[in-house]
Structure 1
Amino acid sequence: MIDTPKTTQVVVIGGGPAGATVSTILAQQGVRVELLEREKFPRFHIGESLIPETYWVLKRLNMIPKLRESAFIKKYSVQFVSDSGKESAPFYFHDNKDHDCSQTWQVRRSEFDEMMLRNAEEHGVKTHEGTRVLDVLFEGDRAVGVQVMGEDGEKREVRADVVVDASGQSSMLLNKLKLRVPDPTLNKGSIWTYYKGAYRGEGRDEGATTVLQVEDKKGWFWYIPLHDDMVSIGVVGDFDYLFKGRGSHEQVFAEELQRCPAAKMRVENAEQVTKIFATKDFTYKSKQAAGDGWVLIGDALGFLDPLYSSGVLLALKSGELAADAIAEGLTKGDTSRAQLSNWEADYMVGMERMRKLVCEYYDGFNFGQFVRRFPNHRGDITDLLIGDLFKESLDQVFISIDSLKAEAETMTK
């Protein structure tokens, strides 16, 4: 099933978007890659909304033609609904950037992730589904491979120059090396389900992501139209608020839906077609992105609150950046931490910009009010929402947000 030891340059743990991205880009550069996936695809996963900046990595992966031929709903905008039910004007991505990248998709992850994995295979990646990684092997401080167990129950070792952990929130290296740093400010959780026959807009508004605030601003709902007349809808709130002393997940979801009339209205004539799902482990990051012979990417490196649908973007971007660092390192014969993490600093700054925008929303940030006060920042806000995070000019947005807060505090004194 798996090549004999020492015949693989890079071994990747996990076949989701991050793992498929790093594998494909490495294979495009002539690197021998083995990808090990515990499950058999297709498999369920949450995180269905792609934001526009995913376009550039997807284009590099040769995925854009496949997405255009797919049944996925096209997404042109995001809209916010306040706790009082007031709807913001939609943020249409084309208004900010007149380019193909401004139309993206709402995807069913079971289908999208399988497309990504098969695309990796088409580029020469050797993939192994139903293969469980038991341990990452180290010699001193250097990762040298993995121990795996296939469907036959036999244990084997796969040796490699670099081990990439793209195994998501349950990351083996994140736990093994005790690298996880929780975010006390964004200690959130979510409860979600799927409806058939729920409300959706028309024309270019059909695929809009809608963020709907719950009464008293105790949480918010995502509302994501999918193909086959399905809608993904979930509530996000503080961990303690959602999960302590309130009964079952089903009961809490129903109660929160009652407290968000705009969301309730959208599903009142629809049929719930799946069970209720919940997750309780949200925002965190790793102390470092790489070490000698190993790299973390995607959710294994860090996870942000799902408010602005940044998960797939960060998976793709970290996979791309890591792949280029690894390919360069293999060419130079350098797989040290310094080489494998040469992208980390800029990436983490971009991720922090998105985190700041998430925190501002929970602090009561009003997009409409801000843009009216600072019309010059409308494009910057849209850049943040589409995931164009990696430019210093965006830092001015947060300076302006702070000045607006200062004005408000002065007026209340």
Structure 2
Amino acid sequence: MNSTNHSDVIVIGGGPGGTTASTLIAQRGFSVTLLERELTPQYRVGESLIPETYWTFKRLKMLDILKSSHFVKKHGVQFVNSSGQLSAPFYFHEHKPGECSQTWQIRRIEFDSMMIQNAREQGVAVNQGIRVLDILFNGDRAVGVLVKDADGNRKELFADVIVDASGQSSMIINKFKLREPDPSLNKGAIWTYYEGAFRDEGKNEGATIVLSLKNSNGWFWYIPLHDDIVSVGVVADFDYLFKGRQDHETTFHEELQNCPVVKKRIATGKQVATMRATKDFTYRTKQAAGNGWVLVGDALGFLDPLYSSGILLALKSGELAADAIIDGLNRNDTSEKQLGIWAKEYFEGMDRMRRLVVEFYNGFNFGDFVRRFPHHKGNITDLLIGDLFKADLDQVFLDIDQMKSEEKSTANKH
């Protein structure tokens, strides 16, 4: 623990959002204390990066670390429809040539360790094995935290800004009742890992594959990782996946019957991990900041994993929050308005990705859409690679609404 009990910024949580915010703030010379409950990073799902993470990694000085890692290189994504038809590979470099078009499939324990070590090397005071018991307020302003170390000792730590990056269990979310579930995306997932399962070759080896179920009730992810491991999971409506079903293992294998392409791919492999499940998917918070506090990462919100946007959103929220905090500290302004000045732009970007996800679940045909509006092909690609934070993309959704209206009108005439 730091010898002093005051820092410019305290960050709660050592995941991607917390390490991003802490590193960028420390780069500017401010004192940053990062508090992580676990002594070492624990298992997390969320293994596939999308290309727009490149720019935040560049600011974090993480690119050389990732390039020298054994993470599988990801050059694109493929889709399999409910009839089992595999799409042509969707290569990122065809839209944005250059180094930024290649990304990685990661193992979170290793990736999170790299991010924590990188934060430490850039001046963040990283404290692991520290449990935050409470966030301290003076009136409506967050001023510090009450912590307990691995030996059971309690201590109060103070800061000008508290960054809550503690995930879905955020104390600030619960204190102010900020969580807003998304009834349109009430999904769940069941997943595990296979060794020796089928892998494509060459540039396609690291591609994420999204495979629709035959009954169109959901989809499988198929993500090739290093050490000959593949992450395989099924996502569907909560009620469909969990109500009236047996155990997760049985449900998973029942859904394999609904997805012959995945069943065939894993036939050569063996399951090497227990079955895991999550039943708490898409949500967001009513606000991103208050006087003296900011939410980032999963503490701010989480979006359905269809297009692998989770880590991008964590990095982006950490980055935008860091810039607002740096500016606020320089001007001695840590008000809600200053610390949350980025939230509108962020949520608009998140909502664009959300809309794309909703359209997928509603069965919208993006191939037909691009044929009808060919000038939007690049915009659809921008959305898929995570280049979400620009207003001109909103025209895509206006034209999607137009096309759906035309289809509905035609159907009514018949």
**Which interval holds the TM-score relative to the shorter structure?**
over 0.9
CA shift, 1:211, in A, is 0.5
Question: Where in structure 2 are there 5+ consecutive unaligned residues?
Answer: none
Residue 286 of structure 2 is aligned to residue 294 of structure 1: no
Q: What is the identity percentage for the equivalent residue pairs of Structure 1 and Structure 2? A: 64
**Cα deviation 1:279-316 (Å, max 9, x = unaligned):** 01110000000000000001100000000000100010
For residues 73-93 of structure 1, what are the alpha-carbon distances to aligned partners after superposition, in whole Å with 9 as ceiling and x for unaligned?
A: 000111111111112222211
How many Å apart are 1:407 and its aligned residue?
2.3
CA drift at 1:69: 0.3
Question: Residue 370 of structure 1: CA displacement?
Answer: 2.1
Which amino acid letter does the alignment assign opposite residue 129 of structure 2?
A: G
The Cα offsets for residues 115-148 of structure 1, whole Å up to 9 and x where unpaired, read as 0000000001011111111111111100001011
Cα distance between partner residues in 1 of 2:109 and 2:215:
35
Correspondence list, 1:204-283, <5 A: 204-283=203-282
Q: Deviations over 1:216-271 (max 9, x none)?
A: 21011111100000001101111111111101011111111111111111111111
User: For 1:176 and 1:2, how far apart are their aligned partners in 2?
Assistant: 27
Corresponding residue for 2:128? 129
Whole-Å separation in 2 of the counterparts to 1:364 and 1:212? 13
Secondary structure, in 3 states, of the residue corresponding to 1:215?
coil
Structure 1 Cα separation of the partners of residues 336 and 347 of structure 2: 16
Note if contact 1:283-1:302 (Cα within 8 Å) is conserved in structure 2: yes
Alignment of 1:97-112 (within 5 A): 97-112=96-111
Match of 1:49 in 2: 48
Equivalent pair of 1:289/1:295 in contact (CA under 8 Å) = yes
* CA distance in structure 2 between the aligned counterparts of 1:366 and 1:91, rounded to whole angstroms: 16
Other-structure match for 2:156: 157
Structure 1's unaligned 5+ residue stretches are: none
- Structure 1 segment 136-175 matched on structure 2, within 5 A: 136-175=135-174
| Counterpart contact for 1:88–1:368, Cα < 8 Å | no
Deviation at 1:374, TM superposition (A): 2.1
TM-score (norm 2): 0.98
How far did residue 365 of structure 1 move? 1.8
Q: What is the identity, as a one-letter code, of the residue corresponding to 2:307?
A: Y
Q: Does 1:412 align with 2:411?
A: yes
Residues 91 and 382 of structure 1 are in contact (CA less than 8 Å); yes or no, is this contact kept in structure 2?
no
Deviations 1:170-219 (A, max 9, x none): 11211121100111110111000000111111111000011000122101
Report the Cα distance in structure 2 between the residues aligned to 1:25 and 1:91, rounded to whole angstroms.
33
2:331 alignment counterpart: 332
Partners of 1:167 and 1:367 lie apart in 2 by 36
Please give the secondary structure, in 1, of the residue aligned with 2:215.
Answer: helix
Per the TM alignment, residue 36 of structure 1 is displaced from its structure 2 partner at its CA by: 0.4
On the 8 A contact 1:37/1:131 being kept in 2, the answer is yes
TM-score by structure 1 length?
A: 0.98
AA paired with 2:47?
Answer: E
What residue in structure 2 maps to residue 195 of structure 1? 194
SS at match of 2:191: strand
Match of 2:2 in 1: 2
RMSD: 0.9
**Within 1, Cα distance between the matches of 2:354 and 2:34?**
30
Q: Does 1:67 align with 2:66?
A: yes
Matched residue type, 1:4? T
CA distance in 2 between counterparts of 1:3 and 1:182 reads 41
Give, as a single letter, the amino acid of the residue that structure 2 aligns with 1:367.
F
Residue number in structure 1 paired with 2:178: 179
Cα deviation code 1:349-383 (max 9, x no counterpart)? 00000000000000002232222222211111110
Contact 1:282 1:303 in 2 (8 A): yes
User: How far apart, in 2, do the equivalents of 1:22 and 1:179 lie?
Assistant: 21
The 2-side partners of 1:373 and 1:147 are apart by 57
Partner of 2:368: 369
| Off by >4 Å, runs of 4+ in structure 1 | none
Does the aligned pair in 2 maintain the 1:136–1:147 contact within 8 Å? yes
Quote the Cα distance in structure 1 between the aligned partners of 2:309 and 2:402: 26
Compute the displacement of 1:3 (Å): 3.2
Contact 1:18 1:315 in 2 (8 A): yes
The aligned residue for residue 93 of structure 1 is: 92
Alpha-carbon distance in 2 for matches of 1:279, 1:372:
37
Equivalence for 1:32: 31
Counting only pairs closer than 5 Å after superposition, residues 336-347 of structure 1 correspond to structure 2 as: 336-347=335-346
Give 3-state SS (helix, strand or coil) of 2:388's partner: coil
Q: Number of matched residues? A: 412
